[in-house]
Amino acid sequence: MEKSPQTTAYELPAPVSRREPRKSLLRYLPFFLFPLLIIVTFFKQPIAGLLPGQQHHDASLKSQCKQVDPLFPSKLDGRLGLMFSYLSTPEFRSKSIVRLSEAVQIPTESYDDLGPIGEDPRWETLYDFQKFLKDTFPRMHEHMQPEVVNTHGLIYTWTGSDKDLKPLLLLSHQDVVPVPNATVDAWTHPPYSGYYDGKFIWGRGSSDCKNQLIAIMESMELFIDAGFKPKRTIVLSFGFDEEVSGPQGAGHLAPFLFERYGKDGIAALVDEGNSFTENWGSVFAAPGTGEKGATDVHITIRMPGGHSSIPSDHTSIGVLSELITKIEAKQYPTFLTDDNPYLGQLQCGAAHAADFPKKIKKLLGNHEPHSRRAKPDYLAIEAAKESRGIKYLMQTSQAVDVIEGGVKVNALPERVTAVVNHRINNGDEPEMIWQRITALAKPIAKKYNLTLHSFDGVKEEAQSISLWNSSTTMRAAPTTPTDVEKTTPYSVLAGTTRALYGTDIIVSPGTMTGNTDTRYYWSLTKHIFRFGPGYDPSVPTGFGNIHTVDEHISVVNHIGMVKWFTLFVRNMDEAELDD
């Protein structure tokens, strides 16, 4: 600001008469502020609670994720009570360690290129595993009805006394992911040693998922020994090629059971899946009540060969690279539909987790039904910032996982292929993915004078780009009901989990980015839970190191799983289900 030309610095009037009253007021300001600070500090929460908008919002969130009371079987005494107590003894611990260790020592590996059963010798290890199960669990094989489906698929049926009750179905799989020879030396303990170090059992399959299979069978064996007489029929179904999408195992077992029980003929199904996770300062049990879809898009490019000393401007590898670059240049949108179970997990976090982000809670309160063609879903976008794993619960993923091409350094590649794996978000469809890749391939095919075969059944042709999808394509799974206002399989599962692990555990819906054998069982029941119910609070939560080097599981986790199945089976047996 410019100075007035009539006034110099030394001619400014003295400000005493103007400032003196201000000083006297400031002198008393602390006496007014201190009581106000006391009121705000001590009465902030009660005052906030009186605000009608906030009160309504908090009540609404809690109503969207009501936590059920712990659910125990009606009788925990007698032989069944002694049986449950036995699970905490050093004797059971020692025997259970041996059983899971020996199961891990049998390398029941599944390979993508397995030949027909009976012809490919790599299936043969399953005979060893079946013999191990029969020798290890003799009471089950005597008292339950064992059946074999498609040579290696196993079904065990324990017929209940009340034929009007729908059966309970428990799943697992016998096979494991192969261990590449190049990684064997990287393991702390050999991958098929089943080594026990005093806390963990090490080896391929120890946590995916021979632990669940052995836990189920241990609980059944103990039930028989304790004289348990189920009212509700119990069915066990164990596939043997889940790691390669399950066409020979669950793909035959599910139709076999469908013929016996019919559509919606099963009360509930539990398979491997989500376990316990730490989110927002709380521990969640988030059984998979939904599962993303999947489609593998195969790309084959055929172009003329020749000597590499006289190359074309672009080889088939270069053309494929151009297409892959375009595919990866843009991701699919992030959004939450109302049937995505992760929306339920966010609601549970907002209602019960102490450290739930305020911004996400605010967006959650304003969230509306969303489709991928609508405006940006700011709730999903904000929630996705927490981690890549969280993002892909709300977004279709794409991953170029396989590429093959070229046979010799001085020969132009005549044929190249790639496979792009997609896991499909709720609200997206396989057809949308196929249309997108077709749109990206069309100008490239025109640019290089190639014929485009887009999902028309032609997998390969000279001078062409061929696009085709795998036979294992599946849409996002139907969402399991999670009503707890009445007695439902979900309420029984939630009550069982809180009974075993305590009421600090928040039970919420969860979604699976991967797929399990449940894909074949959708018609048998709408109550499908993908859940690994073992928990060890001393070990980091999550999927850990399945499918990679140093797979292992804690014994506390495994025994917790056995305890959970014994409680869940009994709670389901006593439940008068409303749904």
Report pLDDT digits (tens) over 154-205. Answer: 999 999 999 999 999 999 999 999 999 999 999 999 999 999 999 999 999 9
Q: Could you report the per-residue pLDDT of 274-309, keeping only the tens digit for each?
A: 999 999 999 999 999 999 999 999 999 999 999 999
- Domain(s) labelled CATH 3.30.70.360 in the chain stretch across 291-469
Residue 535's pLDDT is 96
Burial (CB count <10 Å: 0-12, 13-18, 19+), residue 255: middle
Q: How many CB atoms are located within 10 Å of the residue 19 CB?
A: 10
First to last CA, the chain: 78
The better pLDDT of the pair 47, 372 is held by 372
Predicted confidence band at 374 (pLDDT cuts at 50, 70, 90)? Answer: low
The pair of three-digit structure tokens given for residue 355, joined into one six-digit string: 């450290």
189: annotated binding-site residue? no
Res. 552: pLDDT tops 70: yes
All CATH 3.40.630.10 domain ranges of the chain, comma separated, are 78-178+186-281+480-574
Residue with tokens 């050999």: 190
Per-residue pLDDT, averaged over 32-47, amounts to 43
Its CATH class, for the domain covering 78-178+186-281+480-574, is: alpha beta
How does pLDDT run across 486-517, given as a tens digit for each residue?
999 999 999 999 999 999 999 999 999 989 99
271 is in an annotated binding site: yes
pLDDT value at residue 6:
36
Q: What is the mean pLDDT of residues 219-235?
A: 97
CA–CA gap between residue 67 and residue 506 (Å, rounded): 7
Report the chain's mean pLDDT, rounded to a whole number.
90
pTM: 0.87
Note the pLDDT tens digit of each residue in 58-104.
556 667 899 999 999 997 778 999 999 999 999 999 999 999 999 99
Q: Is 313 annotated as a binding residue?
A: no
Q: Is 527 annotated as a binding residue?
A: no
Q: Would you name the residues annotated as active-site residues? A: 175, 242
Determine the pLDDT at residue 527: 98
DSSP track, 186-236: G-SS-TTS--B-SSEEESTTTTTTHHHHHHHHHHHHHHHHTT---SS-EEE
> Does the pLDDT at position 46 exceed 60?
no
- Token pair recorded at residue 511: 């979604």
Q: Is the pLDDT of residue 371 over 70?
A: no
pLDDT reading at 5 higher than 70: no
Q: Are 527 and 489 in contact (CB under 8 A)?
A: yes
Supply the pLDDT for residue 7: 30
Architecture of domain 291-469: 2-Layer Sandwich (3.30)
Amino acid 60: pLDDT: 67
